[in-house]
Amino acid sequence: MKSNILTTTAMMAFPFMNSSGSDSQVPVGPSPSTHCPSVTSSLRIPLTLFYALFVVLGLAGNLLALWVFLLDRSKKGSVRVLLVNVALSDLLLVPCMAFRVWYHGVRGERWELGATMCHVVGNFFYMNMYISIVLLGLISVDRYVKISRGGVPLQRPRGLAMRCGWRTAACALIWALVLAFTLLMTLLGEETPQELNRCFQYKSLQHSKWKGYLNLMLVVVFWISYGCMVVCYVKIAFKLLRTSKEKPDLPNAARYARTANKSFFILVLFTVCFVPYHIVRVFYIVSQITDTSCYWRGVVYQANEVALLFSALNSCLDPVMYFLLSSPMRKQVMRLLGNVMRVWEAGASGSSYSVEQGSGSGRTVPRQQSTGLVGVFGNNTDDITSQP
């Protein structure tokens, strides 16, 4: 009697344990003790809604970010090279999320594009996520090096190519390594005939444990990047706060505290988006390479899906970070909003004047350009794209 009650409770808490039908009876383990029903997600509708929202916001925000970074030429020696690559990786994540919307929402978790396409989409998703993670870690190191040198380069570089050379090389190396890793995982991916109509689902790796170990290596890469960000941004913030107190007579002393708070904001943003996933990920991978119960597999699968939503959210929040920390981004967004408002006002009033004719009187006087941490940190520390 007690056993029946526990079984009923487990089925109510995790509907995937009570699935039936030929489509859902997919073995996810190699041995009889690990044969479980397909771990179908009871989160199908929430996943569809959230991924659809992320597609819209991520597409708009990252297209705008790329447009601003590629058109702005005022920061020739800046960290813009890294930011462009972050925005590009976030933008490439959008079609992967669109496939998840199609799979979870439109097709009711039935995959009809074949096993190879499933591997391509899934691996491409993780590829872009980890490219973004590593690049954000590099940005933190780049900013810390600039601050620690007082904003003055050790040697004055002679041209744009030399100023951006190491960043370009680092980005090329990261893309090459991650693409090679993704290609390897895609080519070596296997699918049983019963699993051909499933994608983005829990899968046992007891016969391919090396894949689990590679996934654990990616988790280690994240924690290294996260450690770099914690050290760099905390040191940047404390140095700015200390300078604002020790030298309150500097031209932009009042801005130091705000800049320090923005450094903490980046760190909090990164923590919320990626730390939960990489904590859950460890348990998820361990369950894949060991003999675990169906109940535990269901728990880690659903926890993994929820945590992955937070990681996908980062592709929408990165443009917010650009807006707060990049003055060119703020100027372009405000200019765009101003143009939209003028068009709306002209249409509402029935004015026959063009937007350009009417924009002269509404032009705002630009504020005085910040001189940054003069004599201490160099130019415009409030701007993440400031010249190193």
Question: How would residue 174 be classed by pLDDT, with cut points 50, 70 and 90?
Answer: very high
**Is position 114 within any domain?**
yes
pTM attached to this predicted model: 0.75
Per-residue pLDDT tens for 329-357? 778 788 887 887 888 878 777 644 444 45
Provide DSSP, 319-332: HHHHHHH-HHHHHH
Dihedrals phi, psi of 300, to nearest 5 degrees: -70, -30
Q: Is the pLDDT confidence value at 381 over 80? A: no
**Is position 103 within any domain?**
yes
Torsion angle of alpha carbons 137, 142, 148, 149, nearest 10°? 170
What is the percentage of the chain residues whose pLDDT exceeds 70? 70
Question: How would residue 150 be classed by pLDDT, with cut points 50, 70 and 90?
Answer: low
Report the C-alpha gap between 77 and 133 in whole angstroms: 22
Residue 248 sits in a domain whose CATH number is 1.20.1070.10
Cα angle value 259/133/129 (rounded, 5°): 130
Q: Which of 64-68, 91-95, 210-214, 246-250 has the lowest mean pLDDT?
A: 246-250
Q: Give the pLDDT score at 350.
A: 62
Q: Give the pLDDT score at 354.
A: 47
Report the C-alpha gap between 48 and 37 in whole angstroms: 22
Mean pLDDT value across the chain? 76
CB count in 10 Å sphere of residue 341: 12
Question: How would residue 43 be classed by pLDDT, with cut points 50, 70 and 90?
Answer: confident
Per-residue pLDDT tens for 90-126? 999 999 999 999 999 888 888 888 888 888 999 999 9
Position of tokens 């976030």? Answer: 90
Report the C-alpha gap between 173 and 178 in whole angstroms: 9
Q: Give the pLDDT score at 239.
A: 84
Q: Give the pLDDT score at 337.
A: 79
Torsion angle of alpha carbons 173, 93, 265, 243, nearest 10°? 30
**Is position 386 within any domain?**
no
**Is position 141 within any domain?**
yes
Q: Which of 41-55, 59-73, 249-263, 276-290 has the lowest mean pLDDT?
A: 249-263
Which tokens hold the place of 154? 């050790």
Extended beta strands in the chain, E state: none
3-state secondary structure of 132: helix
Domain residue limits at 302: 36-148+162-343
Q: Give the pLDDT score at 153.
A: 44
**Is position 371 within any domain?**
no
> Of the ranges 236-240, 241-245, 354-358, which is most confident?
236-240
How many structural domains are present in the chain?
Answer: 1
Q: Give the pLDDT score at 250.
A: 64
Report the C-alpha gap between 114 and 118 in whole angstroms: 6
Question: How would residue 386 be classed by pLDDT, with cut points 50, 70 and 90?
Answer: very low
Q: Is the pLDDT confidence value at 151 over 80? A: no
More confident site: 80 or 318: 318
**Is position 200 within any domain?**
yes
More confident site: 383 or 376: 383
Strand partners, 373: 378
Q: Give the pLDDT score at 68.
A: 85
